[in-house]
Amino acid sequence: MASARGEFSSRFGFVMAAAGSAVGLGNIWGFPTQAASNGGAAFLLVYLVVAFTLAYPALMAELIIGRHAHANAVSALRQVANNRGQRLVGGLTGIVGFVVASLILSFYAIVAGWMMAFCGASLATLSGAEDLAAWLTSFSLECNLLSMAVFLALTIAIVGKGVNDGIERWSSRLMPALLLTLVLLVAYVLTLDGALQGLKVYLLPDFSRALAPDLILKALGAAFFSLSLGVGTMLIYGSYLDDRQNLPLVGGMVTAVDIGIAVLAGFLVLPAMYVALHNGVEIFSAGGQLISEDTLIFTVLPDLFARMGLAGSVVSLFFFFLMGIAALTSSISMLEVPVAYTVETYGTGRKQAAVAIGCAIGVVSAVILLDFADLFGLVVTLTTRYSQPLIGFVFCIYAGWIWHRDKLLQELRKGNPEVASGLFWKIWPWWVRFFCPAIILAIFVQSLL
Ligand code: PFF
């Protein structure tokens, strides 16, 4: 029952697509690496707290506004505004959101390209092409450029096809396979020597570190990145959702799947790090810092797979394939943000918009690769740590202060007539009005001081 704009055909399809957007490199590359370099369990603890208290309410703000407006972020924020000034700020926020989404995609495509290159390398190893395998895992500029371009081309192809044929179909098939593979790998890694130490680092918090403002800001950025917030992605996905869906419930399902997979990936990556350390792989510098954060999992996981003998190459192939797919279900949701805006505002064809915007993003990725040392970390920090929570803050202001409370309730009632008497309606409206904006701002001010 897809409308002219495209619509998810079932709750399962939506949850898989939204969880597909949420679950990606942020869960398996970003979160465990940050946990490893920021005190393990202390980071996990703060991450869980901010994910449930700040990220879930902000996700609900995006989903509700999106479903109400059935439009992209720029038009949606304008629709809920009451006067010219609010319309202007709303439109600008939407536009900043899509610039940030495009910038995120420009670094995301690089890391996702590495996933695909490592997948190709496992295939090459299995077919005896050792030289090719070595090239694919070399992180050379040529290889990085090529794998980034291939990944972006796949993203463009799926977004060009639209909501039902592209986004929903792929997400529904591949997300469950990823979950199963992760569970099996965790079970395996926990049987190895050294894993216990990793488990301790991950689960026994040092509470003094948990209160450091910088750690809290990093965890906030990680949670917003992981749930795809603050760029308009979830708003757009909400806009493709039909009115019968119970929004707090589907939002809760997406949050639970996303956080669950991040925490699960921590059970793989942190023990795998210490297994690799146990095997003599250098991970920490003399000062106790991680040697290269960005490529950490490309060191420790191949070491893990190598210990499994021939079976390891098969597992490696499967793992990096699924990671590439997880990245793809996220990257399509990023490209969807500027594409939906362009199609809905200028009437451009979906395919043309996807190709033109995707190619422009490819150019930015290439520039980042040419000066990786200076640009990569900068773009990641600027977009994920600062922009996403700040734009999320504006979404909370629009849901909590600007949009009329009765209209909000009306929107929620569509999928759940009894919502007014439930816990969600008792807590969320004032939570998103006072608590979320105040705490997000406080975290920023604290970390700047
Ligand atoms: N949530 C994705 C991940 O964890 O990998 C990243 C992401 C997707 C960020 C979509 C922003 C976005 F709009």
**What is the tens place of the pLDDT at every residue in 164-210?**
665 667 667 777 888 888 999 999 999 999 999 999 999 998 888 88
Virtual torsion, Cα 255, 257, 261, 262, nearest 10 deg: 0
**What is the tens place of the pLDDT at every residue in 403-447?**
999 999 999 999 999 999 999 999 999 999 999 999 999 998 887
Q: Give the whole-angstrom CA distance, residue 392 versus residue 387.
A: 8
Nearest CA to ligand 1 atom 7: 228
Q: 3-class SS at 86?
A: helix
Closest CA to 148 of 395, 405, 364: 364
Q: Give the whole-angstrom CA distance, residue 65 versus residue 74.
A: 11
Pair of tokens at residue 258: 């996303």
Nearest CA to ligand 1 atom 10: 228
Q: What is the pTM of this model?
A: 0.92
- What does the DSSP assignment read for 134-161? HHHTS--HHHHHHHHHHHHHHHHHHHHH
Q: Give the whole-angstrom CA distance, residue 248 versus residue 256.
A: 12
Q: What's the number of CA atoms in the CB half-sphere (13 Å) around residue 11?
A: 13
- Within 6 A (CB) of ligand 1 lie 21-22, 24-27, 101, 104, 225-226, 228, 231, 233, 330, 333-334
Nearest CA to ligand 1 atom 11: 228
**What is the tens place of the pLDDT at every residue in 63-115?**
999 999 998 999 999 999 999 999 999 999 999 999 999 999 999 999 999 99
Determine the residue of 226, 254, 330 to mutate for testing ligand 1's pocket, defined as the one with the most ligand atoms within 8 A of the Cβ atom. 330
Instruction: Name the least confident of 12-21, 137-146, 234-243.
Output: 12-21
Residue 274 belongs to what H/E stretch?
helix 247-278
pLDDT the model gives residue 205: 87
Q: How many residues does the chain have?
A: 449
Q: How many domains does the chain have?
A: 1
Ligand 1 centroid distance, CA of 133 (Å): 29
Ligand 1 centroid distance, CA of 192 (Å): 32
User: What is the arithmetic mean of pLDDT over 370-381?
Assistant: 96
* CATH number of the domain that residue 339 is part of: 1.20.1740.10
Q: Which domain holds residue 51?
A: 2-448
Ligand 1 centroid distance, CA of 219 (Å): 15
- What does the DSSP assignment read for 167-198? IIHHHHHHHHHHHHHHHHHHHHHTTSTTHHHH
Determine the residue of 63, 102, 104 to mutate for testing ligand 1's pocket, defined as the one with the most ligand atoms within 8 A of the Cβ atom. 104
Q: Give the whole-angstrom CA distance, residue 53 versus residue 439.
A: 10
Q: At what angle do helices 388-397 and 84-126 cross, to 10 degrees?
A: 140
